[in-house]
Amino acid sequence: MAIATVNPTTGESIKDFAPLTDAELAAKVALGDRTFDSYRHSSLEQRSGWLHRVADRLEQDCAALAHLAVLEMGKPIAAAQAEIQKCVMVCRFYADHAAEFLADEIVKTDASQSFVRPQPLGIVLAVMPWNFPYWQVFRFAAPALMAGNVALLKHASNVPQVALRLEQLFREGGFPEGAFQTLLIGGDRVAALVGDDRIRAATLTGSEAAGISLASACGRHLKKTVLELGGSDPLIVCPSAEISQAAAVAVTARMLNNGQSCIAAKRFIAVGETVAAELERAIARDFAALVVGDPMNPATQLGPLATPQILADLETQVAAAIAAGGRLVVGGDRAALLERLPPALRSGHFYPPTLLADLPQDTTIAREEFFGPVALLFQVATLDRAIALANDTPFGLGASVWTQDAAEIDRCVAGIEAGAVFVNGMVKSDPRLPFGGIKRSGYGRELARQGLLEFVNLKTVWIA
């Protein structure tokens, strides 16, 4: 697999990188193993200081780091800067709270002392995606490093410069050489890497196929995994909701990161004809008004998709949805969008904000994840039917519910099959709350105390 920076805004190839040789890869694993032997004995105060210094570097270099993300994967520059600031937050959160999370848990038994002590596992391999090229890495690395583990990062092959810069950031913060290393390798080499006894666990954020591949490899070697995979999150709007507010958040949520977010609201479910009509008008109006263009321009609200394959897949899905009976409300015409763009951008991977309505709910395409600026609008008669439709997908990452009725809130929280339910707000990750999914959205949790404890040995100690 090619490891290269290709600017999705213009289609221009910027820089190619040679993958690590087998000898270079072996040396990195050996360095990580040697580093763990000493790093595991570093104090929490040392690790906290290093992580705070990484946060300082992120703040100081925010503009340059954001620019690099835009160059490699195309998100709007304001969104890239916000992503860097979120990384600062997660670093400071774990730097300040890891000691509390890693304290012995005292348990009263018939022993004179008995407790549970979290201890690090060793090298953790992280296979990370391009869509949030900094945040996805930091939300794994900050807790893993504070717990005393060391990390090997196999980043997405279309963000190699971000991947290399990440390793530099941890070294600049003071972490020992080998505590965090980037591996420039293709995905086809991950399974063999997992077989190395020195790698104790692995985590992946990405597609179902990638998750299945990693989990299968780890299963053969009996290694712990955490997976955060795709999502087709519902956004349910009830008649009691502030519908204009729900519509505005729906637009923001769907277009987040150029529509390329696992936790974006992708299926809008309106309870009742009146709600559906109002939602459709508001969302169609706002979709049509979005500024599409150069993501380096601060005025741009929607940039290009990250790769030609993602663009091709999205176009195929939209055509399939229309063929299955979906009604095109707005968007869907890429040729018309390109005509409105400056000539320099017409080779970019742009797709217009698109809303599809009336798609038959029992079709296969209605259950798929659309990874781009395309939303599906469904109308149902009752809240029970809305919950059933929300659950009628292989995924279970997040859900958003809009209602002012306490009983409806209780029914949604109890009935929706997802790792998170947000009421009258947009689904988002937060270092203070555990994050993850169920069903084909993966397993395990990141963030909060729960995320830190995923990659530790919870050692039981009993003293007579």
Beta bridge mates, 391: none
Strands 395-396 and 438-439: antiparallel
Residues belonging to the active site: 228, 262
- The number of beta carbons lying within 10 Å of the beta carbon of residue 212 is 14
- What is the C-alpha separation between 210 and 188, in angstroms, rounded? 10
Task: Report how far apart, in Å, the C-alpha atoms of 415 and of each of 353, 390, 398 are.
Answer: 31, 10, 13
Q: 18: burial class by Cβ within 10 Å (0-12, 13-18, 19+)?
A: exposed
What is the greatest pairwise CA distance in the chain?
78
- φ, ψ of residue 155 in degrees (nearest 5): -85, 165
Contact (CB, 8 A) for 345 and 380: no
- What is the C-alpha separation between 227 and 210, in angstroms, rounded? 10
Instruction: Give residue 327's Cα distance to chain centre.
Output: 30
- What is the C-alpha separation between 227 and 443, in angstroms, rounded? 5
Alpha helices in 295-404, H assignment, sequence order:
308-323, 334-340, 383-391
- What is the C-alpha separation between 436 and 441, in angstroms, rounded? 8
Instruction: Report the run of H or E that residue 91 belongs to, with start and end.
Output: helix 77-101
Contact (CB, 8 A) for 403 and 275: no
- What is the C-alpha separation between 53 and 49, in angstroms, rounded? 6
Q: How many residues does the chain have?
A: 464
Strands 442-443 and 395-396: unpaired
